[in-house]
Structure 1
Amino acid sequence: MRPKRLKFYAITHDILGDVFWDVFRRGLMDAAERYDVDVEHLRPGKFSPEIQAGLIEGAMHAQPDGIISTIPRVEAVDAPLRAVIQRGIPVIAINARDPRPQGERIPYLFYIGGDDTNAGRLAGNYLIGKLSPKSGMCVDHYLHDHICHSDRYQGFEQAFGAKGLRSDRLRVPGGDAEACARAVAEYLTENTGVDAVLTLGPPGAQAVIDARKLVPHERQWAHMTFDVAQPQIDGIRSGDIVATIDSQQYLQGYLSVQQMWLHVAQGFTMADDIYTGPAIVDASNVDAAEDGVRRGIR
């Protein structure tokens, strides 16, 4: 008798228009084909950990062989993920994890994704080393708390603070491109001492690029961002962006399915988390990154 085809659910916290998640999904589907499993990807369509919690509960009642989930806000998804695990369904955390110590955190198998505090620190130190800025700011394209973004900003703030430099955080509505650009332009117009800007993903990066058209030409700043997509590639080539931090989200999707298959079908598990980033993309390696964008894996 042919064994039952395994079914996994991947449940993420996407916001519409963020191309990051298209690449992640490509990783999921490529691994599903490679390992001959079914993978259903569920997401709220807007940033709402509470809606995501409901999706987790629904997936649990479908009794899949495994659940792959982001943890953007612990208090929202803690109870449903613990319920999943109590039912004997294995869970792998991806992209955004529970930051609490081992004995307190949600007891998922392990985490696959970027080391976000280290990534923020890396970005801050890159800007400081390359440009000797006077003051920095971080554009966060989520209006609400998000673990990954908070960790990235914390690392950035640590790097700037270690050099006695100020850094601020500006929240913008990532789903509204025009409002994002206006908010960034207003901030940079009012805060003329800020000469280093970090954005946390494609929506924020595009907002800073668009904001250049809304401020006087003489107002200049250095812009570093997160993730790899065509706007970031184009920005590096034009000089609008000095570098971007890649968390290699294709790997987050692919490896989560691969590792879940290895666990369920073969009995393997990782002894520790798997970090897919951070990695810097700048003018020195932008060609390789752009090739990955064309292929849908970066």
Structure 2
Amino acid sequence: MIRTGKVMLAAVCALAVLTACSEGGRVKQPDEGEGGAGDNSGYTIAMITHETPGDSFWDTVRAGAEQAAKNTGIDLKYSNDPDAGKQAVLIQNAVDSRVDGIATTLVTPDALAGSVKAAADAGIPLVGLNAGIDDYQRLGAQMFFGSDETVAGTAAGERIAAEGAKHPLCVIHQAGSVSLEARCAGVASKLPGTENLQVNGADDAAVVSTLQAKLAQDDSIDYVVGLSAPIALDAIKALDASGSDAKLAAFDLNQATAQAIQDGSLEFAVDQQPYMQGFMAVTSLYLNLKNGNDLGGGEAVLTGPSFVDGDNIDQILPFVQNGTR
């Protein structure tokens, strides 16, 4: 497993996941007999992501958030939009409805800055998850749960370089995403021959045809790096259709990519444990609202990255199939 100097998952595994957000939110006095996980807290928390419809990654994030909400008696309001402006509107809507807490991805930080500030001005605790590790403090989010995408990309680049690759193709499926750009930049830091390719991640058929044409046109491409599980599955189709000998790596897991690792059509995936991101974001807000708990001094809580490959897929696959990894 890849380790970094930031606050690691091991430091918070026992659900002592709290946020540096003692200001804001509504202090609710516990009812008689109320306490601990499983109580009916009465809090409402909004989770807002940049999910593209059909991307199974977000099913896992949401499953973690829903389990945390069930454990703590929270009314979870989930919404999503891949358009940065529309995601900002969703955050503002949550602020206007006076939810008790907000968990949001920060993949397009500048576009979301105004609505995040509105939450702070309204005294609503807000945490970031999944995307925006380099910007969450600047925007005013009290905590972040996710992976350092530059570290993840660099680790992937090191592994690909060790296999002798010279010209990876890094496939960016959402324009303007700081997370995806950081992943590719990390790969390129170890492989200067890395080439980025922009595709429309909302259209799988277009992704396959664009990749197929690129691979057929340039036989020097020796590795394809898909930055999501669905894009990696599109890349498998494109590699087969083009006749390319390039190898394939992916970021993130779903059941199909886990099976692809097991059958050898995908070399490895870089996992960030999305279930944990959703679970800990909601749990941290609950603990802050209920107990005023803080943790980490503003440092991000890392849920990854780690490699999933042929050596450990048999141990991890059951959890992927269960929707918790």
TM-score (ref. length: structure 1)? 0.93
Counterpart of 1:81 in structure 2 is 116
Q: Is the 8 A contact 2:45 2:75 kept in 1?
A: yes
Task: Answer whether contact 1:98 1:106 (CA < 8 A) is retained.
Answer: no
CA shift for structure 1 position 251: 0.2
More relative contact order, 1 or 2 (CA 8 Å, 6+ apart): 2
Q: How many Å apart are 1:173 and its aligned residue?
A: 1.2
**Counterpart in the other structure of 1:194:** 221
Structure-2 residue corresponding to 1:33: 70
Per the alignment, residue 112 of structure 1 pairs with 145
Once the two structures are TM-superposed, the CA of residue 196 in structure 1 deviates from its matched residue by 1.2
Partner of 1:49: 84
Tell me how far apart the structure 2 counterparts of residues 297 and 288 of structure 1 sit (CA, whole Å). Answer: 13
3-state DSSP of counterpart to 1:241: coil
Is the 2:44–2:74 contact (alpha carbons within 8 Å) kept by the matching residues of 1?
A: yes
Alignment equivalent of 1:137, drawn from 169, 177, 186:
169
Match of 1:233 in 2: 258
* 3-state SS of paired residue (2:275): helix
1:182-210 C-alpha deviation (Å, 9 max, x unpaired)? 10111111111110111100221011111
* Percent identity (aligned): 28
TM-score, normalised to structure 2's length?
0.85
Which secondary structure state, in structure 1, belongs to the residue aligned with residue 139 of structure 2?
coil
- 1:127 maps to what in 2? 160
Q: How far apart in 1 are the matches of 2:307 and 2:62? A: 22
How well do the aligned residues superpose, as a CA RMSD in angstroms? 1.4
Indicate if the aligned counterparts of 1:30 and 1:254 stay in contact, CA closer than 8 A.
yes
8 A Cα contact 1:12 1:70, kept in partner: yes
- Pairs within 5 Å for 1:1-298: 2=31, 5-44=42-81, 47-97=82-132, 99-100=134-135, 102=137, 105-129=138-162, 131-142=163-174, 144-161=175-192, 166-216=193-243, 219-270=244-295, 271=297, 272-298=299-325
Q: Distance in 2 between matches of 1:100 and 1:55?
A: 19
Gaps of 5+ in 2: 1-29, 35-40
Distance 2:218 2:289 in 1: 53
Cα offsets for 1:203-224 (capped at 9, x unmatched): 21011111123213xx201111
Indicate the SS of the match to 1:57. Answer: helix
Following the alignment from structure 1 to structure 2, what is the Cα–Cα distance between the partners of residues 98 and 147? Answer: 10
Structure 1, unaligned runs of 5 or more: none
